[in-house]
Structures are given as structure tokens and as C-alpha cells.
Chains A and B, each alone.
Chain A
Amino acid sequence: EAQVTQNPRYLITVTGKKLTVTCSQNMNHEYMSWYRQDPGLGLRQIYYSMNVEVTDKGDVPEGYKVSRKEKRNFPLILESPSPNQTSLYFCASSFLQGALFSPLHFGNGTRLTVT
């Protein structure tokens, strides 16, 4: 089954403790992206990647890192989480940049709470 898999689904952590949210897709997509969803703000892009070893900042990259060592994986790293990073995070992938040539496929989300 074609899917984007994020783990974990729920995560509670404390300020400053490094964490990684994993994202994996099995559709051989070149493009992958991370979004955060906050009430009243909709979805905002954090980082995106057009292919292996190619990553770029989105609208709200501060406090986040990503890597794209393999085509299927695009982990989101919070080196020193802070409470303002409490949010619902979504990973997404598609064949090419943006949604022009294929729709974005979304994971089911990771709800992160930083205390």
C-alpha cells in the first residue's frame, strides 16, 4: 500500500531534550516536506527536499533540522525543543516539487508536546 509513515504518532518531551520524528515513504517520491499545523494558523511549511541531499527552508525553519540521506526517509530533528514547538506535524511527499504534477501524500501526523 502506498503510504507516508510517520513515527511516533504522539510524543511528550521536555525542553532541551533532542528528538527526531521519522518519516518514510514507499512511493519513490523525489519531493518530501514537513509542515506544522497550529490552531488558527493552518499548515506552515518547515523544510522541504527536492531529492537526496537537497534540502531547503520553508516558512518556519527556526529550531528544526532535516536530512535526506536516502530517497525514502526525511527525518525532522529538534536539537533543543522548546514549548513553542508544541504542535501537530505532518510529513508529505510527491513525485515533483509542489503539487503541480502529482498530489501531496500526507502522513497521519505526529502530535508533539514540549513541557
Chain B
Amino acid sequence: AQSVTQPDIHITVSEGASLELRCNYSYGATPYLFWYVQSPGQGLQLLLKYFSGDTLVQGIKGFEAEFKRSQSSFNLRKPSVHWSDAAEYFCAVDGADGLTFGKGTHLIIQP
């Protein structure tokens, strides 16, 4: 069965600092991978997706993610975070079992 692990429940980053949110997946075939963001009181919004091709994918709001097959990872990065990036971030894999989400990482931005 497919699964997604986000090892960090909470991450605190200073405004202007770089960010990396970790995501590891388990899936037998080539995965389709996604990052979603959930702002307080809102639904989920797609940040970016990986289907095939270039392993570095660009998303909205200045985010990018890199697919590393050898590490079964799809980490989300941003070079300089803004206070408005404070939110819950979900990694997801789309496979034979449909869309499976990780448990989320809560991002806190320090002034």
C-alpha cells in the first residue's frame, strides 16, 4: 500500500530564512507527487505537482520541490519565507489507491 511520511510535525523558521519541508513516500511504481498548502480557516490549495520529466518542479508562491527517486523523497523548498507562508503543508502521492496525504507539517514563521 502506498504511504506518505512527513517527519516534521512543526517547523519554525525566521522570516527571510530558507525553508525545506521533508516528504518521503512509499509506492511501488513511478509516483505522482503533490504539495498542498492549507492556510488557517481555508481549504487546501495545490502548490505544485510532479508527474515525470525534470525532477525539480516549480510551483506557485515561490515554492519548488525536488523528486529524488533514490531517496523516495519529494522535499519542498523556498529560498526566503514570508510571514504569509505560515500554514499547514501536506505532501500527497497519487497511486493505485488514489490520493494519499501525509499528516502535514505546521509551519511557524518567526518575525
Chain A residues in the interface with B (C-beta under 8 A): 4, 33, 35, 40-45, 48, 58, 90, 92, 97-100, 103-104, 106-109
Contacts and interface: CB of A to CB of B under 8 A. Distances in A.
A92 B99 CA distance: 12
A98 B43 contact: no
Given A99-B92, A100-B32, A103-B49, A42 B104 contact: yes
Given A98-B98, A100-B32, A108-B41, A43 B46 contact: no
B44 interface: yes
A6 to B, nearest CB: 8
Scoring B45, B46, B99 by chain A CB atoms within 10 A of each residue's CB, the highest score goes to B99
B44 A104 contact: yes
Contact of B103 (A40, A98, A99, A107): A40
B101 A42 contact: yes
B56 to A, nearest CB: 19
Contacts, number: 57
A109 B43 contact: yes
Interface residues of B, number: 22
Contacts of A104: 44, 46, 99
What 7 pairs between A and B have smallest CB-CB spacing? Answer: A106-B43, A42-B103, A103-B46, A106-B44, A43-B101, A108-B43, A98-B94
B90 interface: yes
A99 B101 contact: no
B34 interface: yes
Contacts of B99: 33, 45, 98-99, 104
B49 A43 contact: no
Given A42-B104, A99-B34, A99-B92, A108 B42 contact: yes
B43 to A, nearest CB: 3
Given A42-B101, A58-B98, 14 more contacts: A35-B101, A40-B9, A42-B102, A97-B98, A98-B32, A99-B32, A99-B46, A99-B99, A100-B51, A103-B46, A104-B46, A104-B99, A108-B41, A108-B42
